[in-house]
Amino acid sequence: MLKKLFGLDKKEEKKPEVQMPEADGKDVVVSPITGKAVSLSEVPDPTFAEKMMGDGIAIQPSEGTVVSPVHGEIVQLFPTKHAVGLRTVNGVEILIHIGIETVNMQGEGFEAFVKEGDKVAAGDKLITFDMDLVNEKAESTITPIIITNGDAVSELQKEENIDVTKGETSILTITVK
């Protein structure tokens, strides 16, 4: 009776198990955000612009929804929800860092839909963020997508200076060693 009264009798909603494709030595990364794909050199932060964390691409977003760019696993979700790390089926590690200096927002305006250990498919919603709030409180909304274990990559093809749609437009093709 008490369980019913407090809604504790409801079963926890389970996400369907994501079927992971076989590792084939290539990862195609779709845009995690709708907007414009640009070179990392356009990011107003030397850590990203000078590739200190790794190579990749950046998206100048036109909306505040981030989806998974690959089939893989969530390996890190920052407590402030401004960044998420994924590992592809081929072992490539990808960091999506929403905006610049957004860590200082302490999670305000960010909502996560995944947790560490979750398996995700390309296009699955990861995080939403309030673009107006980020524009007001952070340096930029530009979002670097970084390969943090570049030593595992033998070739990286980038699609820069194009309009991209989250979950659809290919932005990186990674060949693993």
C-alpha 27/C-alpha 37 separation (Å) is 18
| Identified catalytic residue from 36, 81, 82, 97 | 97
C-alpha 162/C-alpha 85 separation (Å) is 24
The answer to whether residue 71 is catalytic is no
Cα 139 to chain center, whole Å? 19
C-alpha 23/C-alpha 42 separation (Å) is 32
- 90 phi and psi, to 5 degrees? -90, 5
Which has the closest alpha carbon to 106: 144, 77, 79, 140?
79
Amino acid code (one letter) for 20: M
- Active site positions, annotated: 97
